[in-house]
Amino acid sequence: VQSAFIPTLDHMKLTWIGHASCFLHMSNKFTILTDPVFSKKPSPIPFFEDMDFLGVPRLIPPSLKAGDFAPGSVDVCVISHDHYDHLDVRSIQALHSNNVVKIWAVPLGLKTWFHDLIDIEDQRVIEMKWWQRAIIQKDSDGTVSIQEKIQNILDHADMTTISGNSLEVTCA
């Protein structure tokens, strides 16, 4: 578990957590978490997780747990879409209550969900349309901020780039 959190200089390091959940170190500059789902039985209705007769339990537990992440250890959490196996209420709540994620990059229409249901501040959530790009800056003190959103059509292979202290994320 601990090796997942140790960055490698000038290399990317990917830890597969399970399904679509991954934790990525981009050199020693940025950390990215994708579609965090740590629940033992993800469900569109959170209390189903505790019921034996509803839902489909995980066959294999996640390689990391929400509690393994230190406060501020994730610069950007990218949510691909709003299906319950990619957007798990309990996992998002756990990450938020421990102040793990600095910026949330979410599809169009989910910013209100993050604000109203989870109580995440609007300035920490960037909402993106298909093929829209965002430049996210990380200062030397570790502060992460959204610099700009750019409307642009790109090749699907051109989804994430890093240069200096900026990360460019494309919603695709």
Contact 109, 129 (CB under 8 A): no
pLDDT digits (tens, 9 = 90+) for 76-127: 999 998 888 888 888 999 999 999 999 999 999 999 999 998 999 999 999 9
User: Residue 41 and residue 55: Cα distance in Å, rounded?
Assistant: 7
Residues paired with residue 166 on neighbouring β-strands, in sequence order: 137, 163
pLDDT at 73: 95
pTM as predicted = 0.82
Residues 6+ apart with CB under 8 A from 51: none
User: Residue 61 and residue 71: Cα distance in Å, rounded?
Assistant: 22
pLDDT at 96: 97
Give 37-56 as a DSSP string. ---SS--SSGGGGG-TTSS-
pLDDT at 102: 96
